Amino acid sequence: MANKLRALSFCLAGLFSVTALGAELDPQSGRLSLKDAGFSLSFDAVPKGLVTTVQDKDFVDYSASEIASLFKADPDGLEGSGALTMGGKYYFVIFTGLDSLLDDYHDRRVEFRIWEKPKGTRATVCVRWDIADERASTLCFQPTGRATDDGWQELSSGPVDLLAGGVFAPKYMFLMDEHYRSGDQRFYAGFDPATRVLIDAFEVVDLGPAVVPRASCSMVDELLTCGDEGVCLYGRCVDAAMVDGVVPRDPTVRKDYLDRLVFIVSNFAGAKVAHARIKEFEAAIDDLRGVTTGASFWPTISRAMRLLRDAHARRMASSYWTSEYLHTCIHGGEADLLPGGGQLPMVFAAQGSDPVSSKLKEGDILVSVDGLSPYDWIDAVARYPHVFGDPESARILALENLITTALRSGATLRFARCDKATPCTAGEVTYLELDLAKIFGEPYWQGTPPPWQQQRKTCDWRFRRASNASVGYSDEDGIRTLLINGAYNTNTWMDTVTKALSPPPGALILDQRLALGGEILAVQRLVSLLVSADDLHAMEFVPWIDSGLDSDLLKTLRDCLIKKQSQAACGYFEHIGIGALVSSVAEDTPVALLNAHDVSANDFITKALTYRTAPIRIFAPGPTLGGFGPIMQMPIMFGEIVYGGFQYADSIFLASPSDANMDLLTGAGVKPDEIVIQKQSDAVQGIDTVTVRARAWLKGLNP
Amino acid sequence: MNRAGTIPGVLLLLLLLFVRGCSQTAARNDAAIAEDATVAPDLAPPPLRKLVQKPLFGQMPLDNRVSHPEFTIIDGLSWFPWCEKCHDLPVRMFLPSTPLGQPAARLPTLGQEEPFHLIGMVKGMDGPLEVSVWLGRKMVDSKTPDFSDTEAAFVGVFPEKGYGEVFLAEDGSTKPRVLDGIHWMRTAVWLKEPPVGWANLIVTDSLGHGLYVTSPIVIPMPTQPKYQQLRSRPQRVGSSRARALVAWRAVRRKPRGVPEPGRPFDPWYFPPGH
């Protein structure tokens, strides 16, 4: 009954919501008419005024004659006398020079619309804005809900001001076989060169004057300065659709999207902490239901996902603006050389030639952003890209994204410098003010950006490294330092870790301050080397069970896994035994564990090491993020090109086979035994504060 | 099957008028609901096409407990394809029309006879539920294709019983549909006591002859539907299915190259010179 009523409701909705916006069907011919469109492409032949490129799956160009053959006469076409046939072996179609044909729309708000008819595949259609011949924004079209009864469906960019930042028009329109995203890129799905999709009736609908002000801005004032449809980017208001993507504006499409999103999170999330916060999540999503403007939709979903406290949760988006990066790394530091002292963002590395990094030095303290204290500025930026997970840890780690966000905002940064290793008086402190809107924003929007850093530099929490490899070890003064950037089930990782601990060193620093997560088999290997099976029996992934977890159910799941040897057959329950594969050769070695940004595999390692009988001490600025569980990706529901995700199970630890513990861990990180923050006084001398403290502790055990 | 008996008379009349108009409009629309259908070859195109509203998820109920019912991400977790000796892969298909207006997965036609399995994650729940999926095969010489070499099973951990398998059977109360040369058959099963945690819907093409799959749907259903002409299918590939489930675990334990969630997917390769 529910299904039937639902089908009926769509029919009823269809009667009233098929609107006149965009081209309409001619009632006499049943064909779409573009005669009122300002700019359109009928695809009856290769479009004039554009460069048309068609490529196969391996990016090899087709000849002009073969391209021409794809624009076929089609008596059943939607519009005009023909349509473009693409997809399958005709994988990519690129139209270059769109900007040269849209001069009349420079001050206008427009909507790009196009129709497709699947014949085995679909097209992902996007327009692209470039700045100085570099990709800036990629905006992909989404279904409007309009379709025809013979299988054509309409896609749209949604309303968008034509010029990015009031300056640049889109140069390219791309169409690519949907299998590029859903199949080929995923290793488990194939591609059929014979599939096709028909494309017809591209039009640019003039919606009136542009609505996003051509104004300078910062992220703090963007709501007031840039309005409901704009956001601040590199110091200038730009259309939000170019940054975060198309918003589902059709009421039916929007409702279905939000309803399905809430259902998925409410029912598929695997973390107990997420289920405890579902009401908050739903309330945040409900705030979106009546919103029809562009600036708040995707950021609100991101904030809602963050409420789940799942460190593996990720927001999704249907567009993105290519990020630019400075080669400056900022993390939390102790400003012990400044008169006021306190914990403030500190420069850990400034190694680039860009105009910001080249002016900064290790140990410089960021004292204000746009005149606000750094944390006040973070709190004032509604779109700040926060880290998800344990809020105490996420607060500390928020600083990781400060420099990139400040760059995107066009913020003014003020740094304080003390050029000696002893505390400075107020008169000895020098200040450096960097106006990122002036340094980067102005030349960017003039089309002459400074040399860009489009490759993101990984910002290491380690002030100094014992190894430059992502997994490696070295010895100094009788102490071995094993450095890992996450835990990965590769031969190199497994071999390096095993060699580092066999035979066991006398004392060990395990430095995982740049923790990139990883795989549970690698965790199992490392933990088994360091922890006796008498101290820790196992870690287990436990699916969320609506009726609640109890000992009988847990026993049923365990028995199933023993019998079937399949996690998939047994509710996606998994048992990771300690000591099953390797002996705990280093179980007696004292371990100083150095943490900073620790999630997932590094959460597991940290928690497991707390079970050691032998000495273990955790040094960190705060807890781990509490990401205890495996991840699943959200389905693509509205053409998202940034995929969302979350944990599909939680985890428990068992000290022994008889341990009845059922505490699900996700959301609360492992706290350090000793809170350690890099000191400014050490930084100016090139000393890693955390390592010094760890060495002192290990030395104290064996003087 | 009259399910509209509780709707007051006048409203019912209005609704029926709309439904009649809608179903006529939707006769060639993939949004048409299954109950409207009869086994018949494709209709000729209507003389004039009409605009219709296309729901974002076709006719799929939004409370569907299948994690990726539109096969948008076949990543080895949400959907795990497996056969023992072949290296063929399923293809996500956007067909002009399917029974519920959703994308389909096409299992490959293999060069040899062996089972091909497609395993999908489904979230269990507390109360009774219905599991259904549409299976399709190309019509050849206007003949109804044979589905006797196909299986659809719902497997998972049942409270107190442990691991269990339940098999879907042809739903005789829903007429098969022929759309664009593909004969579609709905299979379904109702469970009073469903599995806990995550379960799996496993569709198997036991001889590798090729199979279309669309609209895997698992929804709460308090009372058992009155299926007609239910035909249970013998379990043919139990041992192969068991190996597929074990393989799932092995694959999950291997290194993966799948991008982490949240990392932007580069929407295209952009060749030099453009």
Mutation target among A1, A10, A124 for the B interface, most CBs of B within 10 A: A10
Q: What is the pLDDT of residue B48?
A: 83
The nearest CA of chain B is from the CA of A55 a distance in Å of 10
- Contact in structure between B146 and B167 (CB atoms under 8 Å): no
Q: Cβ contact (<8 Å) for A8 and B96? A: no
A354: helix, strand or coil:
coil
Non-local CB neighbours of A408 within 8 Å, separated by 6+ positions: A219, A232, A233, A234, A323, A324
Distance from CA of A273 to the nearest CA of B (A): 16
The mean pLDDT value of chain A amounts to 90
Residue among B7, B83, B92, B213 with most chain A CBs within 10 A, to mutate: B92
Type of residue numbered A204 = V
Check if the beta carbon of residue A623 is closer than 8 Å to that of residue A665.
Answer: no
Contacts of A18 in chain B (CB under 8 A): 51-53
pLDDT for the residue numbered B161: 86
What distance in Å separates the CA atoms of residue B117 and residue B123, rounded to the nearest whole number?
A: 19
Contact across the interface for B53 and A644, Cβ inside 8 Å: no
Spell out a b/e string for A584-604, using b for 16 or more CB atoms within 10 Å of the CB, else e: bebbebbbbbbbbbbbbbbbb
Residues 6+ positions from A215 with CB-CB distance below 8 Å: A225, A226, A236, A237
Nearest to A570 among B25, B163, B265 (CB): B163
CB spacing of B63 vs A263 below 8 angstroms: yes
- Confidence label for B17 from pLDDT (cuts 50, 70 and 90): very low
The mean per-residue pLDDT over the stretch B211-236 comes to: 81
In angstroms, rounded to a whole number, what is the distance separating the alpha carbons of residues A451 and A352?
Answer: 11
Backbone angles phi, psi at A256, to 5 degrees: -60, -40
Query: Which one, of A489, A471, A477, A482, lies nearest residue A504 by Cα?
Result: A482
The residue of chain B nearest to residue A198, with distances taken between CA atoms, is: B96
A259 neighbourhood in chain B, CB within 8 Å: 62
Contact A643 B262 (CB under 8 A): yes
Task: At A601, list the tokens.
Answer: 């595999």
Mean pLDDT for the stretch of residues B73-88: 85
Contact state of A632 with B78 under an 8 Å Cβ cutoff: yes
Reported ipTM: the value is 0.90
Beta bridge partners of B213: B105, B135
Instruction: Tell me how many residue pairs between chain A and chain B have CB atoms under 8 A apart.
Output: 344
* pLDDT reported for residue A702: 74
Which DSSP letter does residue B172 get? T
Are B157 and A257 in contact (CB < 8 Å)? no
Inter-chain contact B270–A567, Cβ cutoff 8 Å?
A: no
A648 and B199 within 8 Å at the Cβ level: the answer is: no
Pair type for strands A82-86 and A196-209: antiparallel
Identify the pLDDT of residue B255: 38
User: Burial of B132 by CB count in 10 Å (0-12 exposed, 13-18 middle, 19+ buried)?
Assistant: buried
Out of A126, A189, A644, the one facing B91 most closely (by C-beta) is A189
pTM: 0.89
How close, in Å, is residue A583 to chain B by CA atoms?
A: 20
The percent of chain B in helix, strand and coil, each rounded to the nearest 5, is 15, 35, 55
- Say if residues B112 and B86 touch (Cβ distance below 8 Å): yes
B236 — contact with chain A (CB < 8 Å)?
A: no
Query: In chain B, positions 110-139, which contact chain A (CB-CB < 8 Å)?
Result: 119, 121, 123-126
pLDDT cut 70: percent of chain A above it: 95
- Three-state DSSP class for A372? strand
A284-289 contacts, C-beta under 8 A, 24 or more apart? A285/A258, A285/A261, A288/A258, A289/A254, A289/A255, A289/A258
Is-contact A492 A484, C-beta < 8 A?
no
Name the closest residue on chain A to residue B88, using Cα atoms.
A190
Crossing angle of the two packed helices A251-268 and A2-17, in degrees rounded to 10: 150
Measured between CA atoms, how close is B72 to chain A, in angstroms? 6
Determine whether the interchain pair A146/B53 forms a contact, defined as Cβ–Cβ distance below 8 Å.
yes
What are the phi and psi torsion angles at B129 (to 5°)? Answer: -150, 165
Q: State chain B's mean pLDDT as an integer.
A: 77
As given in the structure block, the two tokens for residue B163 are 């691991």
Is B87 an interface residue toward A (CB < 8 Å)?
no
Contacts of A344 (CB under 8 A, 6+ apart): A332, A333, A335, A338, A365, A366, A367, A374
B237 pLDDT above the threshold of 60: yes
CB contact under 8 A, A641 and B267: yes
B242 touches chain A (CB under 8 A): yes
Contact list in B for residue A178 (CB cut-off 8 A) is 92, 94
Residue B210, C-beta contacts closer than 8 angstroms, at least 6 positions apart: B106, B107, B108, B109, B110, B137, B138
pLDDT at res. A570: 93
How far apart, in whole angstroms, are the C-alpha atoms of residue A606 and residue A624?
Answer: 8
User: Among A394, A398, A375, which Cα is nearest to A311's?
Assistant: A394
The confidence score (pLDDT) of residue B252 equals 57
Chain B residues within 8 A of A118 when measuring between CB atoms? 94-96
Chain B CA closest to residue A18: B53
* Greater model confidence, B46 or A619: A619
Strand intervals (E) in A370-421: 412-417
Sole residue written with tokens 């580069």: B266
**Strands, E assignment, A178-281:** 196-209, 230-233, 236-239
Residue of B nearest to A94 (CA): B274
Instruction: Give Rg (Cα) of chain B.
Output: 20
Q: Does residue A274 or residue B234 have the better pLDDT?
A: A274
List CB contacts of A31: < 8 A, sequence separation 6 or more: A25, A77, A78, A79, A80, B49
Q: Which amino acid is at A532?
A: S
CB–CB of A54/A67 below 8 Å?
yes
Question: How far is residue A360's CA from residue A351's CA, in Å, rounded to a whole number?
Answer: 9
Q: Residue A358 corresponds to which tokens in the numbers above?
A: 């080249």
> For chain A, which residues score pLDDT lower than 70?
1-22, 181-186, 451-457, 580-581, 703
Q: Which one has a higher pLDDT value, B253 or B100?
A: B100
Q: Mind listing the pLDDT tens digit for each residue in B175-204?
A: 999 999 999 999 999 999 999 999 999 999
Query: For position B271, what pLDDT does the model report?
Result: 31
Residue B266's pLDDT is 43
